[in-house]
């Protein structure tokens, strides 16, 4: 039986540019699948993915959950006798998947190359600067006022008790970025899930789980496993990664709680108690959580930064914009956030306002570009792990037909 293979040459070129330049060195010895501690006997990877990548079968790869189940620990690349670096190849495939699944396409394409970095920074920088300009708040406060109100008058102030001017402008910036990100992620996850179902012939099944069933049986176990870092602990070649990933993960959970608290107090409670629009007290438990989370973020990123640099220096990883872009953004968020707070405490409003402006740019970039960067694996890997359980469940494998 013959098979007509139509390779996508542009896809192969894109993978090479994203760090998969060693792809053609693979000669299918299957050492990678044997070495991988996450690969299973019935669904081994990444050998199959290396074949599909060499053939340029983009559509099959973009519907393959295994590319997201890979944790890029480096075990397969370390054992490969040909130096094909399957871990880097799968990482490059994921980078392409984020571009392909992301919406809008123009924004996803921008995030794929370092040459677009000035534009990526410029989009939020210009938007925030224009809003700052038209808000009427573009002035440096006196030291006494700065100590009292902090950055809560960054976009100016009015006496409208229902919503502070500063909160309004920050909501416009951040909710727009979050709205685009959520739409992109929802679109991408929908495409991915449909593709994964088609890959196992499960587009039409007798029964589908309800939303509560799906969460309880598939999504929550996947989230629990991610929180415990169970699969990271199975990796042997690059065990130090868990020391960076775990504090970073808990830092984001802490900052998410802080963000929800801030939104609730500023946008809801602030309607009835206008004093809530002021800066949070340093002794407020939420403020303590924010500071601890920021430090944990910087520490986790520092470990990952050093680990990545060491791997690249030893030839175990390839230097790519895809890997470094999200590290730069998150480090920018943590450093500018802590620096802005320290400058408020020591009373330097002129420099503080500049750093706070940079902090707003960093946060907007984190939200806006999340679906197109390595940060997107947080969502896509979660649903791939949920699908891993779903494809082996009775919803797909009807026990009555076994």
**What's the pLDDT tens digit per position in 263-288?**
888 777 777 777 666 677 778 888 89
Structure tokens at 293: 């989370």
Of 57, 74, 101, the residue that ends a domain is 101
pLDDT of 167 > 90? The answer is no
Query: Is 274 inside any structural domain?
Result: yes
Neighbours of 42 (CB within 10 A): 5
Alpha helices in 44-142 (DSSP H): 47-55, 58-62, 66-69, 75-79, 86-101, 105-110, 117-135
Residues 116, 80, single domain; the answer is no
Query: Quick one: pLDDT at residue 402?
Result: 43
Q: Are residues 139 and 41 in the same domain?
A: no
Q: What is the pLDDT of residues 190-207, one digit of tens each?
A: 999 999 998 888 777 778
Q: Are residues 21 and 121 in the same domain?
A: no
* ∠ CA 23-25-29, rounded to 5°: 105
> Does the residue 1 lie in any domain?
no
Q: Are 71 and 135 members of one domain?
A: no
* pTM (2 d.p.): 0.89
270 and 359 in a single domain? The answer is yes
pLDDT at 260 over 80: yes
Is residue 90 located within the same domain as residue 126? no
pLDDT of residue 384: 95
The average confidence (pLDDT) of the chain is: 87
Helix locations, 200-320, DSSP H: 211-214, 220-228, 241-264, 270-272, 285-313
Among 54, 79, 101, give the residue marking a domain's end.
101
Cα–Cα dist 51/67, whole Å: 13
Contact in structure between 235 and 37 (CB atoms under 8 Å): yes
**Distance (Å) of CA 193 to CA 100, 122, 368, 397:** 14, 34, 23, 17
pLDDT band of residue 147 (cuts 50, 70, 90) is: confident
Q: How far apart are CA 71 and CA 55, in angstroms?
A: 23
pLDDT tens-digit profile of 9-43? Answer: 778 777 777 777 788 888 889 999 998 888 888 88
Residues 68 and 133 in one domain: no
User: Do 138 and 234 share a structural domain?
Assistant: yes
DSSP state of 205: -
pLDDT band at 401 (very low <50, low <70, confident <90, very high): very low
H runs (alpha helix) in 200-240? 211-214, 220-228
End-of-domain residue from the set 74, 101, 128? 101
Range of the domain at 231: 105-391
For residue 358, pLDDT over 60 is answered with yes
User: Do 97 and 110 belong to one domain?
Assistant: no
Q: Is residue 272 part of a domain?
A: yes
Report yes or no on 72 lying in a domain.
Answer: yes
Please tell me whether residues 243 and 368 are part of one structural domain.
Answer: yes
- The verdict on residue 255 lying in a domain is yes
Domains held by the chain: number:
2
* Alpha-carbon distances of 38 from 51, 77, 182, 238, rounded to whole Å: 19, 14, 30, 14
> Same domain for 270 and 379?
yes
pLDDT digits (tens, 9 = 90+) for 325-346: 999 999 999 999 999 999 999 9
Task: Note every long-range contact of 178-184, with CB atoms under 8 Å and residues 24 or more positions apart, other chains counting.
Answer: 178/367, 180/104, 180/107, 180/368, 181/367, 181/368, 181/370, 181/371, 183/103, 184/102, 184/103, 184/104, 184/107, 184/108, 184/371, 184/372
- Residue 250 domain-assigned (yes or no): yes
Q: Is residue 400 assigned to a domain?
A: no
Tell me: the pLDDT tens digits for 177-193? 999 999 999 999 999 99
Residues 95 and 111 in one domain: no
Q: What is the mean pLDDT of residues 55-75?
A: 88
* Residue 144 belongs to a domain: yes
Kindly tell me if the per-residue pLDDT of 8 is higher than 90.
Answer: no
């Amino acid at each position: 039986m013959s098979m007509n293979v139509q390779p996508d040459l542009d896809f192969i070129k894109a993978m090479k540019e994203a760090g998969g330049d060693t792809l053609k060195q693979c000669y299918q010895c299957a050492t990678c699948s044997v070495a991988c501690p996450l690969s299973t006997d019935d669904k081994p990877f990444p050998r199959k993915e290396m074949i599909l990548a060499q053939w340029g079968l983009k559509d099959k790869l973009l519907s393959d959950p295994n590319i997201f189940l890979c944790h890029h620990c480096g075990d397969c690349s370390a054992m490969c006798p040909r130096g094909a670096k399957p871990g880097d190849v799968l990482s490059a495939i994921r980078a392409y998947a984020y571009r392909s699944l992301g919406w809008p396409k123009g924004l996803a394409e921008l995030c794929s190359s370092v040459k677009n970095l000035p534009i990526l920074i410029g989009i939020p920088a210009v938007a925030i600067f224009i809003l700052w300009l038209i808000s009427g708040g573009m002035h440096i406060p006196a030291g006494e006022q700065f100590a009292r109100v902090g950055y809560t008058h960054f976009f100016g102030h009015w006496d409208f008790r229902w919503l502070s001017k500063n909160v309004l402008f920050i909501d416009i910036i951040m909710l727009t970025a979050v709205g685009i990100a959520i739409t992109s992620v929802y679109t991408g996850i929908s495409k991915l899930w449909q593709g994964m179902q088609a890959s196992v012939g499960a587009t039409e099944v007798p029964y589908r789980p309800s939303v509560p069933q799906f969460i309880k049986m598939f999504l929550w176990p996947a989230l629990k496993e991610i929180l415990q870092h169970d699969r990271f602990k199975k990796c042997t070649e690059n065990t130090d990664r868990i020391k960076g990933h775990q504090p970073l993960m808990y830092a984001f959970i802490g900052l998410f709680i802080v963000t929800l608290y801030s939104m609730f107090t500023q946008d809801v409670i602030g309607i009835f108690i206008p004093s809530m629009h002021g800066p949070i007290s340093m002794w407020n438990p939420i403020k303590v959580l924010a500071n601890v989370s920021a430090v944990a973020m910087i520490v986790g990123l520092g470990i990952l930064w050093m680990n990545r640099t060491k791997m690249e220096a030893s030839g175990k990883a390839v230097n790519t914009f895809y890997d470094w872009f999200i590290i730069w953004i998150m480090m920018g968020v943590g450093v500018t956030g802590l620096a802005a707070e320290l400058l408020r405490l020591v009373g330097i409003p002129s420099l503080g306002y500049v750093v706070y402006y940079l902090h707003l740019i960093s946060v907007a970039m984190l939200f806006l570009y999340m679906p197109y960067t390595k940060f997107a694996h947080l969502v896509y890997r979660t649903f791939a792990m949920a699908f891993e359980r779903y494809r082996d469940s009775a919803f797909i494998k009807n026990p009555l037909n076994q």
